[in-house]
Amino acid sequence: MSRSSLEGQVAVVTGAARGVGELLARKLSARGARVALVGLEPEALQEVSERLHTDSAHWHADVTDHEAMARVAREVKERFGKVDIVVANAGVAAGGPFVDSDPVAWRRVIEVNLIGGAVTARAFLPVLTESRGYFLQIASLAAITPAPMMTAYCASKSGVEAFAHCLRAEVGHKGVKVGVGYLSWTDTDMVRGADQDEVMRDLRRSLPWPANRTYPLGPAVDRIVAGVERRSPHVYAQWWLRGMQGTRGYLPGIIAAVGQREMRRFEPRLSGVSTGLVGAGGAADEKERTHHA
């Protein structure tokens, strides 16, 4: 597929205060795109915006809030005149055994990752239709394969993958392209936060290669940028993820067998597993909800 120049295009990135979102905004800007940053941390977003190479602005909004995201979409269009690219990247994670999980944190993972992606699409589809633009939904290896102690995250990422595939079929005739981005464990605050829990870290390291290692952020985001340039239907942040698609029919059975063995081994240590949202992004989300409670 041919690449289109990002020069002068307007890109919206949610979850842009840190991690994948921050670096993606920087790399899109370096290629000439004007960037609208959306997230929950105004000070961090301001700092990111000030470091960009091109015209940019930032919006404080919760991606699960329909009214807030509709306002953001209107204001981004007013500020930049158009929207060509939207990357629904905002996400949170929580781990641990489902039976002991915090029901509020579990629900919040679904709300931010799945409903937040849909709310973002709902808000921006009218302007993307005008520009015949591109909507990229960030999913995960967790959409391809199930994993024990990751019920909310896997459910949410499987959900956004299915949502994006459905949306592609709906809006393609209007000239809007829809992509799904897949990332394995990548060096972000979210993954580092999950690794602070000893059991979750050990469980991840027991996965078969190449899913048992953490990958550097820079090359992963470079692959996402290349996918945006090509308006790709599938974007793989690590080279081997594409090959996983052909095996996904076998994975639930394999994971069930291996997972039972691993859970039996970890059973004595499970009571100490953290059940809240992980990482700095999770902390920012909890702070935002506490402020509005």
**What are the residue numbers of the active site?**
153
Instruction: Residue 182: name the closest of 214, 136, 125 by CA.
Output: 136
Q: Which candidate, 243, 250, 259, places its Cα nearest to that of 184?
A: 243
Write phi, then psi, for 10 (nearest 5 degrees): -110, 120
∠ CA 213-216-219, nearest 5°, is: 125
Return the percent helix, strand and coil in the chain, to nearest 5: 60, 15, 30
Planar angle of CA 154, 155, 159, nearest 5 degrees: 115
Q: Please tell me whether the peptide bond between 210 and the residue prior to it is cis, using omega within 30 degrees of 0.
A: yes
**What is the C-alpha radius of gyration for the chain, rounded to an integer number of angstroms?**
18
